[in-house]
């Protein structure tokens, strides 16, 4: 079972984000949840087994919208039990509800993420890194609450 996360889920979400390599305090997560808008959703699997963070992105040039999965993690001791598939299925349902024509997910090219990459390929995602390039530029003087959290090992998740 997958449901929408609520502010009371902040501690569970913080634990899951830490496993993904993005540590955050319960208060930081609670504030992040409070800043979500109509085009944002965090899904939480039963027993805090995993989460998917979703964002709807209008496509001005192409028309329509895409849904970006900004975080997808399953608790280490619950992997291999279909939790990621349930989260992805719920994410796809959300993409249809949001009338998105495409789902995008990114993941750092690091050895510890290879099982995630295999999962995405098996779920029908295509690695498009040969067709596009992703650039990052830090925003100077951005407040801590608006800057994206970074993994200890890489800026890309």
The alpha carbons of the chain give a radius of gyration, in whole angstroms, of 15
CB-CB contact of 36 with 48 (8 Å): no
Report the first-to-last Cα separation within the chain, whole angstroms. 25
> Of 118, 116, 98, nearest to 107 (Cα)?
116
Residue 88 has which token pair? 């992805």
Tell me the pLDDT tens digit for each residue of 104-141: 988 777 777 778 888 878 888 888 887 777 777 888 88
Tell me the pLDDT tens digit for each residue of 98-107: 999 999 988 7
d(CA 71, CA 83): 14
pLDDT at 14: 98
Between 58 and 155, the more confident residue is: 58
Tell me the pLDDT tens digit for each residue of 10-39: 999 999 999 999 999 999 999 999 999 999
Domain boundaries, the chain: 2-122
**Would residue 86 be called left, alpha or beta, if left means φ above 0 and alpha means ψ between -120 and 50 degrees?**
alpha
Burial-class residue 156 by CB neighbours within 10 Å (0-12, 13-18, 19+). Answer: middle
Three-class SS of residue 104? strand
pTM of the predicted protein model: 0.81
Cross-strand pairs, 103: 67
The CATH architecture to which 2-122 belongs is: 3-Layer(aba) Sandwich (3.40)
Kindly write down the DSSP assignment for every residue of 60-81, as one continuous string.
Answer: TTTSSEEEEEEEEEE-GGGTTS
């Amino acid at each position: 079972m997958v449901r929408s996360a609520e502010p009371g889920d902040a501690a569970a979400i913080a634990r899951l984000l830490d496993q993904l390599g993005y540590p955050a305090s319960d208060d930081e997560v609670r504030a992040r949840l409070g800043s979500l808008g109509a085009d944002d959703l965090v899904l939480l699997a039963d027993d805090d087994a995993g989460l998917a963070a979703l964002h709807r992105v209008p496509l001005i040039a192409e028309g329509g919208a895409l849904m970006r999965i900004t975080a997808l993690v399953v608790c280490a001791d619950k992997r291999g039990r279909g939790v990621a598939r349930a989260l992805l299925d719920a994410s796809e349902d959300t993409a249809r509800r949001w009338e998105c024509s495409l789902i995008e997910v990114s993941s750092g090219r690091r050895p510890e993420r290879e099982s995630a990459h295999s999962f995405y390929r098996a779920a029908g995602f295509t690695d498009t890194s040969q067709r596009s390039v992703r650039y990052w530029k830090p925003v100077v003087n951005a407040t801590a609450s608006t800057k994206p959290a970074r993994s200890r090992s890489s800026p890309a998740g």
